[in-house]
Chains A and B, each alone.
Chain A
Amino acid sequence: MDRPNRRVFTETLLALAKNDRRIFALASDSRGSATLNEFAATLPDQFVEVGIAEQNLVGIAAGLAKCGKIPFVCSPACFLSMRSIEQVKTDVAYSGANVRLIGISGGVSYGALGGTHHSLQDLAVMQAIPGMTVLLPADNRETALLTQELVDYPGPVYMRLGRETAPRVYEDDYRPAIGKGTELLSGFDLTIVAAGELVRSALDAGHLLRKEGISCRVVALNTLKPLDTEILLTAAKETGAILTVEEHSIYGGLGSRVAQFLGESCPVPLSVAGFPDEPLVTGSQEELFRHYRLDAAGLVERAKKLFRRKQAPRF
């Protein structure tokens, strides 16, 4: 049964923390949104509540990390990635404090709450921090396994999780590796590259395109940084066109990063699907995906346009 990734994350963390006293969970009055109530009740000595104070949240985590703890900071992605970004830069990354930053309800998870609660800049900001690993698990299985990986992973990490039920993407034998993408669907006409909880839409779009006779490859990246350049380069060479899709501003996220890499190594026709540089309409996450054509149907349309561009004579 599919569940929200944030819930899978906290259950996994609690199970790990029961056997590892180094693991700490920190909240900024975000116990509810992060689903940390059971953690707080079960392991009060490994739980820290700081109240609504995101700067202090990250600074305290850095202090704990410098004293041998493995802090998992759990806070809404919109605040964690913006309000405390200087603490992330200085206290965590620059100071070499191995803090795990868990952005809860990322992207437009809080859709109808409005722009204050959308997290559409977090990937841009976090990937610009030197040494920061940026993770975007797609489904429950990937979330659980990546959470386990994080315990002894070297260096600071930002992992973004959504609020709603995450549809299943991976088979039972899948084992994610940080920094390694996965080819979910093979194809040679074009590649859709997706990250995070939009991977499902990309995969659905891939299947729909095949029915229409377009051989679509689908590549999922669980890690935005470091980028799996190998899988991207192969896709660019073998399929000749790339469509990226992300729950982020079109500036500074997956599309920008892929464009930068391919522009330098293997330029091919590229299309970047994401949220435009404007205030968004009101709606649920699903409604916003549909409105901005990030659902499977919208991606199919965009992929066809890209495919036509690929076939058109070049000047």
Chain B
Amino acid sequence: MTLSELAQKALATRREVLRMIYRAGAGHIGGALSAVDLLVVLFYDIMNYRPEEPDWPMRDRFILSKGHSCEGYYVILADRGYFPREELTSFMKYQSRLMGHPHPEIPGVEIATGSLGHGLSVAVGMALAGKRDQLPYRVYCLLGDGELAEGSIWEAAMAAAHYGLDNLVCLIDCNGLQISGPTKQVMNTQPLAAKWEAFGWAVRAIDGHDLQQIRQHLNLVPFSTGRPSLVIARTVKGKGISFIENDYHWHHRVPTSEEYERAMRELAGPGRQGLEDDR
């Protein structure tokens, strides 16, 4: 996909995320928007998978460890054909399978996440299985920076390096904010790169909204043979909507109708009003 096509996908994904949350009256808008560009590059450009054959053994695996940011993930899975786009309208509604956190009942989702600090261990298990079976697939795991306070993350980081899992790629959506405020104030996990390097990972820091940079670096994994790769992606919580950006109060706030319309106009692409449907 060209960079401009990726940018179009990212914009359309953000619009759909906003629609889903507004319609449901619930969701995690801040973290969903900060992760969109990373997800778009992974799912439209980097990963090998077959939506028509979700259990294809050679597929690259993806785990959204920060499971509350599921909206963008659902939009992309639907767009790739795992389930009908119409189903997005049921997000968090009664008896919908699109609940507020991912679950394997949703086609394309590998594992349930939502309780933080779980995803990387599961990713390690999948990467280890790939190594033992000598299969060429990779495992990608997206973490939030607030999530890093969970001790299980570091248990998994240790194990990934111990087993030399260079088929494992971890991305940290580093938006610097969590539900109670700035991550540095809630629980400072800096210096991140030094910590992960000390744990045996090959680390690169990038701009998590620069599609070209994301793509460039993800195309270079493993950054070091025999070591797991970590991408520290600097991102903006609520990216794309000016009055939501960088405000932790928007961790899971739902826009009012006025805010919704204003946000939609901001997310409009060239020549669009923003409020119309993307289909």
Using a CB–CB distance below 8 Å, which chain A residues touch chain B? 45-46, 48, 50-51, 53, 55-56, 58-69, 71, 86-87, 90-91, 94-97
Main secondary structure, interface of A, reads helix
Given A59-B121, A61-B125, check contact A66 B110 (CB 8 Å): yes
Which residues of the partner chain A approach B121 to less than 8 Å between Cβ atoms?
55-56, 58-60, 62-63, 87, 91
Q: Does B11 interact with chain A (Cβ within 8 Å)? A: no
Q: Across chains A and B, which 9 residue pairs bring their CB atoms closest together, nearest first?
A: A63-B125, A59-B121, A67-B129, A56-B155, A60-B125, A53-B155, A55-B152, A63-B126, A63-B122
Bound Cα distance from A40 to B48, whole angstroms: 34
Surface stretch bound by A, among B15-23, B112-120, B226-234, B260-268 = B112-120
Which residues of the partner chain A approach B152 to less than 8 Å between Cβ atoms?
53, 55-56, 59, 87
Q: Does B218 interact with chain A (Cβ within 8 Å)? A: no
Q: Does B240 interact with chain A (Cβ within 8 Å)? A: no
Which residues of the partner chain A approach B148 to less than 8 Å between Cβ atoms?
none
The A-contacting residues of B in range 66-89, CB under 8 angstroms, are none
Given A60-B156, A67-B130, 4 more contacts at CB 8 Å?
A: A60-B124, A63-B121, A86-B115, A90-B112
Interface centre among B112, B128, B130 (most CB of A within 10 A): B112
Bound Cα distance from A64 to B132, whole angstroms: 10
Given A50-B159, A56-B121, A95-B104, check contact A63 B112 (CB 8 Å): no
Which residues of the partner chain B approach A51 to less than 8 Å between Cβ atoms?
155, 158-159, 162
A45 x B132 contact (CB < 8 A): yes
Bound Cα distance from A260 to B113, whole angstroms: 33
Q: Does B103 interact with chain A (Cβ within 8 Å)? A: yes
Bound Cα distance from A61 to B125, whole angstroms: 6
Which residues of the partner chain B approach A46 to less than 8 Å between Cβ atoms?
132
Bound Cα distance from A71 to B113, whole angstroms: 20
Interface centre among B103, B104, B122 (most CB of A within 10 A): B122
Given A53-B158, A59-B152, A91-B121, check contact A97 B126 (CB 8 Å): no
Specify which of B125, B129, B132, B151 is in contact with A59 (CB 8 Å cutoff).
B125
Tell me how many residues of B have a C-beta within 8 Å of chain A: 31
Bound Cα distance from A27 to B223, whole angstroms: 30
Mask, B136-169, CB within 8 Å of A = 1, is: 0000000000000001100110110010000000
Specify which of A55, A60, A97 is in contact with B128 (CB 8 Å cutoff).
A60
Using a CB–CB distance below 8 Å, which chain B residues touch chain A? 57, 103-104, 110-115, 117-118, 120-130, 132-133, 151-152, 155-156, 158-159, 162
- Give A98 Cβ to nearest chain B Cβ, in Å: 12
Which residues of the partner chain B approach A94 to less than 8 Å between Cβ atoms?
103, 112
Bound Cα distance from A45 to B132, whole angstroms: 7
Which residues of the partner chain B approach A58 to less than 8 Å between Cβ atoms?
121
Which residues of the partner chain A approach B114 to less than 8 Å between Cβ atoms?
90
Which residues of the partner chain A approach B127 to less than 8 Å between Cβ atoms?
63
B158 x A59 contact (CB < 8 A): no
- Give B105 Cβ to nearest chain A Cβ, in Å: 9
- Give B168 Cβ to nearest chain A Cβ, in Å: 10
Bound Cα distance from A58 to B123, whole angstroms: 12
Which residues of the partner chain B approach A95 to less than 8 Å between Cβ atoms?
103-104, 111-112, 122
Bound Cα distance from A45 to B156, whole angstroms: 19
27 A-B contact pairs sorted by A residue (CB < 8 Å): A53-B152, A53-B158, A55-B151, A55-B152, A56-B155, A56-B156, A56-B159, A59-B120, A60-B124, A60-B125, A63-B121, A63-B128, A63-B129, A64-B126, A64-B128, A65-B125, A66-B111, A66-B125, A67-B129, A69-B129, A91-B111, A91-B112, A91-B122, A95-B103, A95-B104, A95-B111, A97-B111
Interface centre among B113, B123, B129 (most CB of A within 10 A): B129
A62 x B122 contact (CB < 8 A): yes
Which residues of the partner chain A approach B123 to less than 8 Å between Cβ atoms?
63
Which residues of the partner chain B approach A71 to less than 8 Å between Cβ atoms?
125
B129 x A64 contact (CB < 8 A): yes
Which residues of the partner chain B approach A63 to less than 8 Å between Cβ atoms?
111, 121-129
Task: Select from chain A the residue with minimum beta-carbon distance to B114.
Answer: A90
Task: Select from chain A the residue with minimum beta-carbon distance to B156.
Answer: A56
Which residues of the partner chain A approach B122 to less than 8 Å between Cβ atoms?
59-60, 62-63, 66, 91, 95
Bound Cα distance from A71 to B126, whole angstroms: 12
Which residues of the partner chain A approach B118 to less than 8 Å between Cβ atoms?
59, 86-87, 90-91
Which residues of the partner chain B approach A61 to less than 8 Å between Cβ atoms?
125
Task: Select from chain B the residue with minimum beta-carbon distance to A99.
Answer: B125
Bound Cα distance from A41 to B129, whole angstroms: 19
Interface centre among A58, A68, A90 (most CB of B within 10 A): A90
Specify which of A53, A56, A68 is in contact with B129 (CB 8 Å cutoff).
A68
A62 x B125 contact (CB < 8 A): yes
- Give A12 Cβ to nearest chain B Cβ, in Å: 22
Which residues of the partner chain B approach A62 to less than 8 Å between Cβ atoms?
111, 121-122, 125
- Give A26 Cβ to nearest chain B Cβ, in Å: 9
Which residues of the partner chain B approach A68 to less than 8 Å between Cβ atoms?
57, 129
Which residues of the partner chain B approach A67 to less than 8 Å between Cβ atoms?
125-126, 129-130, 133
Bound Cα distance from A300 to B125, whole angstroms: 49
- Give A125 Cβ to nearest chain B Cβ, in Å: 16
Which residues of the partner chain A approach B151 to less than 8 Å between Cβ atoms?
55
Which residues of the partner chain A approach B128 to less than 8 Å between Cβ atoms?
48, 60, 63-64
A56 x B111 contact (CB < 8 A): no
B155 x A66 contact (CB < 8 A): no
Given A91-B112, A95-B112, A96-B104, check contact A56 B124 (CB 8 Å): yes
